[in-house]
Structure 1
Amino acid sequence: MTENVKTPRVWFITGASSGLGLEFVNAALETGDRVVAVARNIEKINEMYREYPETLLPLKLDVTNRGAVFSTVATAIEHFGKLDIVINNAGNMVLGMIEEQSEEEARSQLETNFFGALWVCQAVMPHLREQSSGHIIQISSIGGLVSGPMAGVYSASKFALEGMSEALAQEAAHFGVKLTIAEPGGYWTNLYLKMRTSQPMDAYDPLRNELAQQNSEGSVDSDPRLAAEAILKLANSENPPLRLILGSVVYDIAIDSAKKRIDVWKQWEEVSRAAEKAIPAPEGYGEMEN
């Protein structure tokens, strides 16, 4: 009798040098899969390479550089022959009220969290389309579901990621390619160590103190290994969801937020419906100029 031998999958993981990204790398390697681990600083990944020389490919990459993303994806495919699971995990966060955020701080979050993921998706899609398979996993956040004080620009980058991903999921499905938006809550990673804060304005001190008091009530953050285990289950699913919430706190917040939105929509339903009434197209509408 011939035994079924699992064919190793190839993962392409951005932001792989620390935090959730590093946990994803470890989890995939431990299952016997192959991993292309990319990050701006690959020193820690290079140390892992000694243990996994045949199944790990560390590549240095700044995902905000579109040309570098495309060449890195090409190198990955040349090395392992294919890609099966692509995880857009690279990201950064600058805490600060909307008024406090500098142009550089705002742009850096959009460049990495949104545009970086967009460039990766554009680079991998031709290959996934050609092989009629693959699974793109976008690491969003609780900030992609709801926003709040000091996280407005970060949330904007994640809202943008989710909007783009919803469209891509429908486009990719035509070619047998799957996409899931993963929305994790808090995990004890070095995000907190790398996270920056905008120059504070005195006017917001009372609100800042109020938020600090709320956050001092106890930890709700988890072991990042739990997120990696969830991502493994997601990657192994035959029919993965468009969205997957990671964490009880995020789950409860998402349900509560959705209910509140529906309640408000219903309260204003009459006004909403009155704002639309189909009429014939105005004369000349849509005509092209000679």
Structure 2
Amino acid sequence: MTRTWFITGANRGLGRAFTSAVLAEGDRVVATARDPKGMTELANDRLTVLPLDIRERESAIATVDKAFALMGTIDVIVNNAGYGLVGAVEELTEAQIRDQMDTNFYGALWVSQAAAPHLRAQGSGHIVQISTVGAVGSLPLFSMYNASKWALEGFSASLADELRPFGISVTLAQMGGFDTDWAKSSMRFATGIPAYEDLRTAILGMASYPTASSAEPTTVPAGTPTTPDKPTSTHTDPSGSPDANPAWIEAPPEVGAAALVALAKMPNPPLRKIIGPGAHHMVAIALDQRRKDYTTDHEFTWPA
């Protein structure tokens, strides 16, 4: 069965890999990007490219409406667009904080709001929110990124209950580490305060944040427990020793794309799906730490 997909942030990283994999399946794709010029290499008679800045609610609604008008029906909505923001809470400006939430949280919310009435009308559909194992726990210097994804998970879990009676599924794809621009040119940084130099060194491997002109914005090494999408700092080794967590690796984006395609084929997709080598281990670590936090309350009993 040929399906039709709507994918945001499709011009690079995981979004581009998702688009390529879906086209390879023989499906149709409406791919959106703030700057769609980079999509020309994926030209295909089953690919429709639309410009979209997901931070703008009216634009998101108009673009989703246009996509449904062009395609007739859309089977899978993938809210992928997003980026990482690095900085201690007191280092971040209001503009940086608002833009992080506008992109990672509100962008997915606007697209989901716009798609819901169309999916209800057709009586089917699947909304996939590209989340992260960082939405299960937290990491110092990534507070606003974690917050944006925790917010995404909170509203999406409720959305799943609201739309289930109409034959619509919602899945939070909790992604592990993938070798994309997420930790490179897509990442944005605060202006550093000297008090956090030791923390930056422990988490990022550098005492100062890189400048905008840096070719490689962060030197966080793949395979260490301080990889940005890692869900909790409680169990990290500040030395960055790869041996502290040998299960954590960065996979090619094609691995994530194949998992997304497989997810869309499931007859009863789950609310949460962990994707990526080592990601299951990281979620287990974060949940174990939460269990330990709650056990300090003698009135609380963790479910068996």
TM score, norm. by length of structure 2: 0.83
Judge conservation of contact 2:11–2:36 (CA < 8 Å) in 1.
yes
Mapped to 1, the partners of 2:285 and 2:204 lie a distance apart of 23
Match status 1:111 vs 2:102? yes
SS at match of 1:86: strand
Instruction: Specify the alignment match of 1:279 in structure 2.
Output: none
**Pairwise CA distance, 1:217:** 4.2
What is the number of residues matched between the two proteins?
A: 263
Instruction: Specify the alignment match of 2:6 in structure 1.
Output: 12
Mapped to 2, the partners of 1:167 and 1:232 lie a distance apart of 24
Mapped to 2, the partners of 1:265 and 1:235 lie a distance apart of 35
Unaligned runs of 5+ in 2: 206-223, 227-239, 243-247
Instruction: Specify the alignment match of 2:127 in structure 1.
Output: 136
User: Alignment partner for residue 238 of structure 1, among 242, 255, 267?
Assistant: 267
1:208-229 CA distance string (max 9 Å, x none): 1122346454582110100000
Matches within 5 A, 1:1-290: 6=1, 8-49=2-43, 52-53=44-45, 55-191=46-182, 192-213=184-205, 215=226, 217=241, 220-270=249-299
1:88-124 CA distance string (max 9 Å, x none): 0010221111111111111111001000000000100
Judge conservation of contact 2:20–2:42 (CA < 8 Å) in 1.
no
Higher helix share: 1
**Pairwise CA distance, 1:256:** 2.0
SS at match of 1:248: coil
- Alignment root-mean-square deviation, CA: 1.5
Judge conservation of contact 2:249–2:277 (CA < 8 Å) in 1.
no
Judge conservation of contact 1:180–1:241 (CA < 8 Å) in 2.
yes
Mapped to 2, the partners of 1:201 and 1:131 lie a distance apart of 52
Unaligned runs of 5+ in 1: 1-5, 274-290
Mapped to 1, the partners of 2:16 and 2:277 lie a distance apart of 22
Identity of aligned residues (%): 40
Moved over 4 A (4+): 213-219
Instruction: Specify the alignment match of 1:287 in structure 2.
Output: none
Judge conservation of contact 1:46–1:58 (CA < 8 Å) in 2.
no
Judge conservation of contact 2:6–2:31 (CA < 8 Å) in 1.
yes
Rg (Cα) greater in structure = 1
Which residue type is aligned with residue 206 of structure 1? D
1:221-264 CA distance string (max 9 Å, x none): 11010000000110000011110111232211211221232233
Which residue type is aligned with residue 9 of structure 1? R
Mapped to 2, the partners of 1:29 and 1:217 lie a distance apart of 40
Which residue type is aligned with residue 285 of structure 2? D
Judge conservation of contact 1:100–1:199 (CA < 8 Å) in 2.
yes
SS at match of 1:186: coil
Name which of structure 1's ranges 138-147 and 167-176 shifts more when overlaid on structure 2: 138-147
1:52-82 CA distance string (max 9 Å, x none): 12x1100000001111111111111111111
